[in-house]
Amino acid sequence: MITLSSDFGSPYPAAMRGVILQASDARIVDVSHEFPRQDVDAAAFWLREILPYFPPAVHCVVVDPGVGTERAAIVIRAGEHALVGPDNGVLLPAARELDDAFEVFEIDYENPESITFHGRDVFAPAAATVHEAGIDDFERDDQFLLTETFVDLSFPEPTEREDGVTGEVLVVDDFGNAITNIPGAYLEGHFGSDVTVNGVWAPARRTYGEVGEDSRVVTVGSHGNVELAVNQDRGDERFSVHPGSRVRLRWT
């Protein structure tokens, strides 16, 4: 199985599918091609949330603002999974979540047909090669070179305060829910109460349905983090936040 993730929209991912299907009978499963454009942090977040739900697979990821520059291409083996993508940190949070004892390999790729479409010319062929060689074994192909040097990426940590906690918005999902870096555990003991978010009042509840339609709510999303939401509307707009915004939660 090979999964595909990118910020390409349509139709560029189709060329990646074609290239893989020329080289492999693998089942191809799309994770998303709608990741926010060239936003390495957002893609890294979603991959960490989603890939652990998959059975062993080769995960081919292209969110790559540095395409055409000197950045390396890598494969990471993490447990029974392999992740293929650019060396810009996008794979690291997911790799660490899948298996902390991951190994990183640099891909010694030939000059690609296009300097701007490594998804088609570098990453899709590498994913097919890893899949055909086997996730346990692919480094027998000497284009994959074990390395200790790679770009890491981690999400910012929230800061606990006497009367609350300060974090930031990591991503906004398609529903407009603003997902923060604040672990949901911080809300325990406050469900049913009101809190303030950047000075604005909002009820802390276990789920959207506990507040009226169109009402703000601070809750814990399916990813386990604190989320700023509005029941049946967009939380990002109603809390005036976007990725990177500071979020000051204060217990009241």
Contact flag: residue 86 with a copy of itself (CB under 8 A): no
Bond prior to 11 in cis (omega within 30° of 0): yes
Binds a copy of itself by CB under 8 A, chosen from 147, 154, 159, 222: 222
- Nearest approach, Cβ of residue 119 and a copy of itself (Å): 9
**208 belongs to the binding site for a copy of itself (CB under 8 A):** yes
Are the C-beta atoms of residues 67 and 118 closer than 8 Å to each other? yes
Token pair 């199985």 is found at 1
Q: Is 65 in the site for a copy of itself (CB under 8 A)?
A: yes
Q: Is 214 in the site for a copy of itself (CB under 8 A)?
A: no
Assess 117 for contact with a copy of itself (CB under 8 A).
yes
Structure tokens at 126: 């590498």
Q: Which residue has the tokens 């346990």?
A: 136
Give the C-alpha separation, 56 to 80, whole Å: 5
Binding mask 132-171 for a copy of itself (x = CB under 8 A): ----------------------------------------
DSSP letter for each residue of 38-90: T-HHHHHHHHHHHGGGSPS-EEEEE--TTTTSS--EEEEEETTEEEEEESSST
Is 59 within 8 Å of 109 (Cβ atoms)? Answer: no
Select the residue interacting with a copy of itself from 9, 134, 156, 189 (CB under 8 A). 9
1 touching a copy of itself, by CB under 8 A: yes
Between 15 and 44, how does the x/- string for binding to a copy of itself read (CB under 8 A)? x-xxx-xx-----xxxxxxxx-xx------
Q: Binding to a copy of itself by residue 183, rule CB under 8 A?
A: no
Eight-state DSSP code of residue 135:
T
Rule CB under 8 A: is residue 14 a binding residue for a copy of itself? yes
192 binds a copy of itself (CB under 8 A): no
- Asked if 68 is part of the footprint of a copy of itself (rule: CB under 8 A), the reply reads yes
Read off the tokens for 123.
């990453």
Which residue's structure tokens are 């957002």?
A: 42
How far is Cα 227 from Cα 40, in angstroms, rounded to an integer? Answer: 20
Maximum Cα–Cα distance for the chain, whole Å? Answer: 60
Quote the radius of gyration of the chain (alpha carbons, Å): 20
Tell me: does residue 113 bind a copy of itself (CB under 8 A). Answer: yes
Side-chain half-sphere exposure of 149, counting CA atoms within 13 A: 4
From the list 95-103, 112-120, 137-145, 194-202, the region that binds a copy of itself by CB under 8 A is 112-120
Per CB under 8 A, 69 contacts a copy of itself:
yes
| CB nearer a copy of itself, residue 148 or residue 174 | 174
The residues that touch a copy of itself, with contacts defined as CB under 8 A, are: 1, 3, 5, 8-12, 14-15, 17-19, 21-22, 28-35, 37-38, 46, 49-55, 65-69, 113-117, 120-121, 173-175, 206-210, 219-222, 224, 232
